[in-house]
């Protein structure tokens, strides 16, 4: 049993590499929490002649053990739904703290790379983050499959820190 526990811990370490470093902004100190999923987390929407099946991902971006993002399928398109105090957008020129934010959700269209930006409303001010994801359409034999992949997430705990998409 001890060997199984040790092997599981080592496997978990390789599956999700987490790093963070400290940042200072506006007299406040925080950290950028970065997670790289290797292999990428993924969900599938499978369509065949008999039935349709799909998966859902629940993601905790800020490390507080609650679901911040729910990633599922809406009419065969991957869809990201944010928790009530989170908002989503798409990076513009690499910057996250931009003007247009959506709090109802965002569709990740097929064969499209997506630089999704996050804004979390906290008592101290808005905190920013990002996720690196994409989706594909393909087939496995007679079955059509739509896949969503989540490769990385990052979140800065320092309010108003001008986090750039891809910054770790």
Task: Please report whether residue 56 resides in a domain.
Answer: yes
pLDDT of residue 16: 44
Q: Total domain count for the chain?
A: 1
| Angle value at C-alpha 73, between 130 and 119, nearest 5 degrees | 25
More confident residue, 2 or 26: 26
Q: State yes or no: pLDDT of 67 exceeds 90.
A: yes
Mean pLDDT in residue range 32-52: 81
Mean pLDDT in residue range 104-111: 64
pLDDT of residue 66: 94
Task: Please report whether residue 165 resides in a domain.
Answer: no
Enclosing domain of residue 26 = 17-156
Torsion (CA) 153, 122, 60, 156 in degrees, nearest 10: 30
Task: Please report whether residue 51 resides in a domain.
Answer: yes
Q: State yes or no: pLDDT of 14 exceeds 50.
A: no
Task: Please report whether residue 166 resides in a domain.
Answer: no
Which tokens belong to 30? Answer: 């925080």
pLDDT of residue 49: 59
Task: Please report whether residue 102 resides in a domain.
Answer: yes
- Location of structure tokens 């906290």: 122
Task: Please report whether residue 7 resides in a domain.
Answer: no
């Amino acid at each position: 049993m001890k060997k199984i526990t040790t092997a599981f811990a080592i496997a978990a370490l390789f599956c999700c590499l987490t790093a963070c470093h400290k940042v200072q902004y506006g007299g406040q100190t925080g950290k950028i929490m970065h997670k790289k999923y290797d292999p990428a987390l993924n969900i599938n929407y499978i369509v065949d002649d008999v039935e349709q099946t799909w998966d859902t991902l629940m993601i905790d971006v800020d490390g507080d053990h609650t679901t911040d993002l729910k990633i599922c399928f809406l009419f065969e398109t991957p869809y990201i739904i944010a928790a009530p105090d989170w908002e989503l957008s798409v990076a513009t020129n690499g910057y996250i703290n931009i003007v247009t934010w959506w709090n109802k959700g965002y569709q990740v269209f097929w064969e499209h790379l997506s630089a999704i930006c996050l804004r979390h409303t906290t008592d101290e001010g808005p905190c920013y983050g990002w996720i690196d994801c994409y989706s594909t359409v393909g087939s496995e034999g007679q079955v059509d499959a739509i896949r969503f992949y989540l490769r990385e997430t990052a979140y800065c705990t320092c309010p108003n820190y001008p986090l750039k998409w891809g910054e770790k």
